Amino acid sequence: MTTSSQNKFVLVTGGAGYIGSHTVVELLNKDYNVVVVDNVSATSQDTIHRIEKITNKKFPFFPWDILDGPALRDIFNQFDIGSVIHFAALKGVGESGQIPLAYYHNNITGTINLLQVMKEFNVKNIVFSSSATVYGEPPIIPIPETCPTASGPTNTYGRTKLFVEHIIRDLCTAEQDWNAALLRYFNPAGAHPSGMLGENPSGVPNNLMPYLAQVAVGKREELCIFGDDYKSKDGTAIRDYIHIVDLSIGHLAALEKLNENPGCIEYNLGTGQGTTVLEMVSAFSKAVGRDLPYKICPRRAGDVTNLTADPRKANKELNWKAELTLDDMCQSLWKWQTNVANGVV
Ligand code: NAD
Ligand code: WQD
């Protein structure tokens, strides 16, 4: 498949991160021209080499910051960019409450800076990494895109996502030649099937799957399950876990959609299947081949009961559907974590 948009470059900000790196692999596999900017604050440059190994392709990479306007202009001057997939952001929910200005600066000022440079170069197609966190504690399950976000996210990080959604929407309203896909990810999980790409958080992982994976390799003693008094079949909270490869492919579908000049549209990228924490522990234990230790702890502040997507709008309008299973997520994560523990990656 070749379209005119594929002859231009796709600029991927944060393309060396967890979701960005997997998306760059899918783009290269489909012969898109890709240029990546990532300040490597939350990753390592080695990720770029591993993407090149997996795809057997080279691509331009700039270890620069999206807050740096002249640096961004330099990239836009060097490459004929047609669209941007914007992943670059800080994503620590807990940390965002401790250093809110850093989060607002990086995630909001960084995005405004990027949008300004895009406008200067007449590049008006953007795919933005939003989050299911914009729904706060949703009144409707499964959650459609029309679910109100007014009560809003329960943390500073989530507010940066919601505010950027508003900024992009306002821009599309003011200037009708802009097109934007605001992708609300549910819970990305798993790793690349090669075992060469995945999430490797520094310090104590904030999220369930990386924490569980570190328990499995003996780096952490046991998992703390945050609350077993939620309204669910086993009392633990429900999330919609989506395989990182399915999620990445969703970005290509969104890019294609932008060619139809749709204006600004929101899409839920999820599976539509809710899974409790205990079910996830059981699925990952199966992949590892033994029971993993856990204890029940108090609820974590800001957590909500259930975030399960209604993905039908994305299924229909993007012609995209998550295909991979919980077992695929768990097996690929286990392969990746084993490689990390053995120093293979
Ligand atoms: P990540 O931390 O692995 O990737 C983000 C990348 O952006 C990192 O490589 C980091 O070095 C880079 N970066 C950060 N600030 C930058 C800046 N100012 N200039 C240049 N590069 C910068 O995170 P991820 O999980 O891959 O998330 C990607 C995007 O998806 C983020 O916007 C995140 O908020 C959003 N998101 C993630 C999840 C999730 O659970 N992982 C869920 C919903 C939304
Ligand atoms: C999943 C479930 C926890 C860790 C977060 C962000 C969201 C998005 C995705 C973006 C919850 C439970 C977790 C642990 C546990 N981020 N849990 N023990 O909170 O749904 O979403 O990541 O960039 O914005 O809020 O994901 O993986 O942290 O938690 O019991 O050690 O696992 O309570 O029910 P969450 P998570």
Question: Which tokens belong to 189?
Answer: 């999980």
Can you tell me the mean pLDDT for 204-215?
97
pLDDT category of residue 5 using cuts at 50, 70 and 90: low
Percent of the chain residues topping a pLDDT of 90:
97
What pLDDT, in 10s, does the model give residues 242-295?
A: 999 999 999 999 999 999 999 999 999 999 999 999 999 999 999 999 999 999
Q: How many residues does the chain have?
A: 345
Q: Is the CB of 244 under 6 A from ligand 1?
A: no
**Alpha-carbon span 67 to 108, nearest angstrom:** 10
**Alpha-carbon span 309 to 130, nearest angstrom:** 14
Q: Is 2's pLDDT higher than 50? A: no
Report which bound ligand comes closest to the CA of 41: 1
Nearest alpha-carbon partner for 176 in 261, 254, 243, 239: 261
Neighbours of 243 (CB within 10 A): 25
Report which bound ligand comes closest to the CA of 19: 1
The answer to whether 227 and 287 are in contact (CB under 8 A) is no
Q: Where are the domains of the chain?
A: 8-189+242-272+308-322
Q: Is the CB of 131 under 6 A from ligand 2?
A: yes
Nearest CA to ligand 2 atom 23: 91
Question: Which tokens belong to 24?
Answer: 């760059």
Tokens 């997997």 — which residue?
Answer: 22
CATH of 8-189+242-272+308-322, one of 3.40.50.300, 3.40.50.150, 3.40.50.720, 3.30.460.20: 3.40.50.720
List the beta bridge partners of residue 182: 128, 266
The answer to whether 145 and 167 are in contact (CB under 8 A) is no
Q: Is the CB of 269 under 6 A from ligand 1?
A: no
Nearest CA to ligand 1 atom 16: 88
What pLDDT, in 10s, does the model give residues 132-177?
A: 999 999 999 999 999 998 788 989 999 999 999 999 999 999 999 9
The answer to whether 130 and 168 are in contact (CB under 8 A) is no
Measuring CA to CA, how many Å separate 216 from each of 129, 207, 241, 326? 30, 15, 19, 17
Q: Is the CB of 158 under 6 A from ligand 2?
A: yes
Report which bound ligand comes closest to the CA of 102: 1
The answer to whether 84 and 123 are in contact (CB under 8 A) is yes
Q: Is the CB of 43 under 6 A from ligand 1?
A: yes
**Alpha-carbon span 132 to 223, nearest angstrom:** 24
Q: Cite the active site residues.
A: 157
Q: Can you give the pLDDT at residue 6?
A: 63
What pLDDT, in 10s, does the model give residues 81-94?
A: 999 999 999 999 99
The answer to whether 172 and 265 are in contact (CB under 8 A) is no
Q: How high does pLDDT run on average in the chain?
A: 97
Pocket residue to mutate for ligand 1, from 41, 99, 117, 207, most atoms within 8 A of Cβ: 41
Q: What are the DSSP E strand ranges found in 227-337?
A: 238-239, 241-243, 264-269, 275-276, 294-297, 306-307
180: exposed, middle or buried (C-beta count within 10 Å: 0-12, 13-18, 19+)? buried
Q: Is the CB of 154 under 6 A from ligand 2?
A: no
- Determine the residue type at 169: R
User: Model's pTM, two decimal places?
Assistant: 0.98
Q: Is 208's pLDDT higher than 90? A: yes
Q: Which atom of ligand 2 is nearest to the CA of 307?
A: 20
Percent of the chain residues topping a pLDDT of 70:
98
